[in-house]
A and B are shown apart, each in its own frame.
Chain A
Amino acid sequence: MITLSHVSKRYPGGYQALIDIGFAIETGEMVFIVGHSGAGKTTLLKLLAAIERPTSGSVVVNGQNVGALKPLAVPFLRRNFGLVFQDHKLLFDRNVFENVALPLQIMGYARNESARRVRAALDKVGLLKYEKSFPITLSGGEQQRLCIARAIVHRPAFLLADEPTGSLDAEYATEIGDLFRSFNQVGVTVVIATHDQTLQARLSPRVIALKQGALAL
């Protein structure tokens, strides 16, 4: 469960990214955060995963106030999230398997258990046959799916995605949309920041609209 109340974010230099945002996301929901570029979608996701801290207001995730977390506690909060980035943030000196194994390695999983979960995640996104390939040899859509496999391999409670279909053509976007729906169906809370209308039409989620940093009704 995620609760935001009276959240504002002002960046150093004076840019006001978010103004007095308040909403709640129940466990198991699928939520789209929509709005034009610069409306504050990415900033909102960053606040949830403690990548940024709010200037005022509170962000509470599973009962923890994210804004007040000690630096040492931040990594453990992040393990509740699977993050899908628009630019994928894959490591190009590691193969597909190793990229997906990264979160499990960090959390100290034993090698066997880790390999089993990595293969399950790769199978889920349809990349099992590319296990030994390097990300650079994959297409844009495959790289995005690899990023999703890495995000869900440790079975997080929340899946946060920032413009997951931003750089993909329609066919790939549909595949990705279906993937998110399947995770949501097994109980994962999915939060997607996007301006992709077709994705929204296909998944018919709850929508939170932002306009110039404020909630738009």
Chain B
Amino acid sequence: MTAWFSQHGRSVAQTLQRFARTPLGSVLNILVIGIALSLPAGLYLVIDNLKSASHQFATDPQVSVFMALDADHTEVARVAVRLKQNPRVQSFKLVSRDQALQELRQSSGLGDVVDSLPRNPLPDAYVVNSKDNSPQALEALRDEMAQWPRVAHVQLDAAWARRLDAVLRLAQLIVAGLGVLLAVALLAITFNTIRLQVLTRRDEIEVIKLIGATDAYIRRPFLYYGALQGCAGGLVAWLIISGGVWLVNHNLGELSHVYASLFAFKSLALTDSIFLLLIPGLLGWIGARLSVGRHLALIASK
């Protein structure tokens, strides 16, 4: 058991020596892998962020009913009665035009513009929650309410969120495809790196085979090399992404203040970070295993 550990320890040490012996080549390889990985991982993160934002809306869909600008109080109140009687409406809330103007002034930072308006351009509006949140029910409710007198416009607030959700699902598929392609690229990079190493260490391999090294012993430092190179690439990708998130959050301070709940850009979760380190390591190991197996067989056959 101690022999086993010391052999593996030595293999790791040997592997690190190999990295150190060709520092430029190793660093460039790791950078290539890191940058390649940061693409799908970064896109995944962007989509994840947008999704959680769109979910906030999509799960609590509201219907906004805008009254005509010149509708008077009784006409607005009559719509409230209809809403109260409608079996499909769960709850509703009046946002009066004064109230809406007040909110706009406070939340958008457009106070000066709002103040300079000669008169309030906003209509009275109801924010309605439907009992049934399925898209069909919401659309039916919208069509019904649009027929009511003095109602100017009915809008499904969640519609854009739902559309975004659909687009994001497609984008996710594309990122998954990109991820698969880059995984193959990582395999190819590792395969080639290890191929060159096996060829330059051909004499050494032949000698240690002659003095009784098993194939497992010969393979081990190459496998460690592949795995460590993959992990290092994953680490580079993680740094690129974390740096990117920091830059976004730092520079968009103004914007994120305004859209506080929406665009506080989240970084990679712990489990995602661990995957980002381990999966490239595993892929590197596999690439190295394929390469070293093939090239050892070639050496043995000569």
- Please, which residues of chain B bring their CB within 8 A of the CB of A79? 211-212
A38 interface residue per 8 A CB criterion:
no
A9 interface residue per 8 A CB criterion:
no
Given A91-B203, A91-B204, A108:B211 Cβ within 8 A: no
Q: Which of B4-12, B158-166, B184-192, B266-274 contacts A (4 or more CB under 8 A)?
A: B4-12
Contact with B along A67-102 (1 / 0, CB 8 A): 000011001101101010000011101000000001
CB pair A75 B213 closer than 8 Å:
yes
A43 to B130, CA, bound (A): 90
A82 to B207, CA, bound (A): 12
CB pair B208 A110 closer than 8 Å:
no
A207 interface residue per 8 A CB criterion:
no
**Number of CB contacts from chain A to chain B under 8 A:** 54
CB pair A75 B212 closer than 8 Å:
yes
CB pair A106 B207 closer than 8 Å:
no
Given A91-B203, A91-B204, A91-B207, A108:B212 Cβ within 8 A: no
Residue picked from B4, B7, B204, B214, most chain A C-beta under 10 Å: B214
CB pair B212 A103 closer than 8 Å:
yes
B217 interface residue per 8 A CB criterion:
yes
Contact with A along B1-30 (1 / 0, CB 8 A): 011101100100000000000000000000
What is the distance, in angstroms, from A119's C-beta to the closest C-beta of chain B? 19
- Please, which residues of chain B bring their CB within 8 A of the CB of A53? none
Interface size on A, residues (CB 8 A): 24
Interface size on B, residues (CB 8 A): 19
A150 interface residue per 8 A CB criterion:
yes
CB pair B212 A76 closer than 8 Å:
yes
User: Contact check: which of A76, A83, A103, A110 meets B3 at CB < 8 Å?
Assistant: A110
B204-225 interface with A by 8 A CB criterion: 204, 206-215, 217
A106 to B210, CA, bound (A): 11
What is the distance, in angstroms, from A47's C-beta to the closest C-beta of chain B? 14
Main secondary structure of the interface of B (DSSP, over half): helix
What is the distance, in angstroms, from B212's C-beta to the closest C-beta of chain A? 4
CB pair B204 A106 closer than 8 Å:
no
User: Contact check: which of B2, B206, B212 meets A107 at CB < 8 Å?
Assistant: B212
What is the distance, in angstroms, from A127's C-beta to the closest C-beta of chain B? 18
- Please, which residues of chain A bring their CB within 8 A of the CB of B213? 75, 106
CB pair A102 B211 closer than 8 Å:
yes
Given A91-B203, A105-B10, A111-B6, A78:B217 Cβ within 8 A: no
- Please, which residues of chain B bring their CB within 8 A of the CB of A110? 2-3, 6
User: Contact check: which of B3, B210, B217 meets A89 at CB < 8 Å?
Assistant: B210
A49 to B212, CA, bound (A): 10
A75 to B218, CA, bound (A): 11
A192 to B209, CA, bound (A): 21
Known: A83-B211, A89-B203; 18 extra A-B contacts, CB below 8 A, are: A51-B210, A75-B213, A78-B210, A78-B211, A79-B212, A81-B212, A83-B210, A89-B206, A89-B207, A89-B210, A93-B204, A106-B208, A106-B211, A106-B213, A106-B214, A106-B217, A108-B3, A108-B7
24 CB-based A-B contacts, threshold 8 Å: A49-B210, A51-B210, A71-B215, A72-B214, A72-B215, A75-B209, A75-B212, A75-B215, A75-B217, A78-B211, A79-B212, A81-B212, A89-B206, A90-B207, A91-B204, A91-B207, A102-B211, A105-B7, A105-B10, A106-B208, A106-B211, A108-B4, A108-B6, A150-B211
Closest 8 CB pairs of A and B: A108-B3, A78-B212, A79-B212, A75-B214, A106-B213, A75-B212, A89-B207, A103-B211
Chain B residues with CB under 8 Å of chain A are 2-4, 6-7, 10, 203-204, 206-215, 217
